[in-house]
Structure 1
């Protein structure tokens, strides 16, 4: 097409970014704050299409109606996938409305899970079957043996987390703990992994596995096409639970999943409800365990972060296993506490 130009948008330029936001607004879409790469297509200077990404997730995809069916979708998606390959990503994802599913299927994506309000598709050099084979091999998992599982974030690892793991370990020969890998928590993944590993090494039958790309963090689930918070939470919970049950639980012969009761966090509460609703369909027993309390209050990682941020170190340490407290007394831990205090002050 004459006059068509594909452009890399300077996302640090407020004027260029505002033009993309304004364009998306006409489609009732937004631009997620964590996008790291954006393309635009213009015709004689007029913006007619855009697509963005955050790490390996394609986002904020829009084309003017009169230009749809002209091959612009393939141009943008191919260009972004080339960028992802350059960055070393082997798997790419798209969260989108179900009505847009066929656009991405025509571009080589396959549907992982379709819910009422959102669908998750993947493409790339590797997929979920490769992920599961790698887990089974690297962790020496006997897939003929049934087991239990827990998904955790551990931001940081508390006595409440340990209580849930101990409960599962008492009732099952083997328990796999999937630690959410997405680094959108205050404590980085490598630190959360170390605290969890050190804090559970005395509990028999526990295997710790990085969650990888398929344990979906609520922080990763995009906002751009679902604005209403409760609807977005339901969509996230349905997709993440669906992927877990349909693929992970089936491949690893997981027959029980343990969760802690959630009196405080709306996201986790809705997630637990989605897990309950879908568990029977996939022949997995969902076990909701009452939270461990200290005094009359349930132990939570958010309370620990709050105490650390306000300087109440001793109150925080009461809620932590000795292994977590030891880390927080280390130079790296002290540096993180100071960072948390500064963020609290601002």
Structure 2
């Protein structure tokens, strides 16, 4: 039983004991009245009747006191168990708090180390080669036969973070919803994206979950995604698979594009949103893909959300994510 269940049990037992005490009081009043009647009456029949009532009332009081004793025993046992569970929960919360604090400290040290490495080895970026504005294509799919995801909240949070960034006008965010497999080529041709963001479900077999014309599940395999990136890679620099079990897809597509991010296992909806929003915020401040990725994971830790170890970053052979900057800063 949980702490809450034991607290409810204690409250219930306390209420039962109070009711028993009330019943004992009522029977004691009856007992007192019967004794007064016996003392005052001269009638044999009344005396005998009240004598029987007196005996029955005394028996009821005895039974109620026995019941009360059993309830008090149960209450003491429940209180003892409740105290043990509360102590255990307190220790567990302290351990979790210490673990959370350590994770934040470790991540901040890591960020500091990366910053020092970058300072010691300045990145040489030819900003003239960067586009004036990068296009982000947000592809959302949430079939009716899958668990519901708040993908609208994800893009809203991403949009808010971008609008609050230094180079907000350098990012053009466009979205497509209820995406089917034959929608993707059309969307890429229309938007010419530098970043493609898949948002929705993923399967344990590393498929992306899209939709049919009826709104039910349609699967896009890792091989199909890889072929898609090979064919359409002219402008694409980064692909984000914000789906469960998508790290294999991310690793595979870096054969044809600069970098990709995927999830190595199932990821909670709120964690996926928080990671993506902070990632785009950092990108829109002119940070490197590596720094944006680390900031996304740090955002999960700071928010107290599980899953900071789930996102994985992959790059094409010979490239460093710390050297990849997508947004052109104001010069």
The TM-score normalised by the length of structure 2 is 0.25
Greater fraction of residues in helix: 2
Task: Say which one has the larger Rg.
Answer: 2
Q: Which has more strand, going by share of residues? A: 1
TM-score of the two chains, using structure 1 as the length reference: 0.24
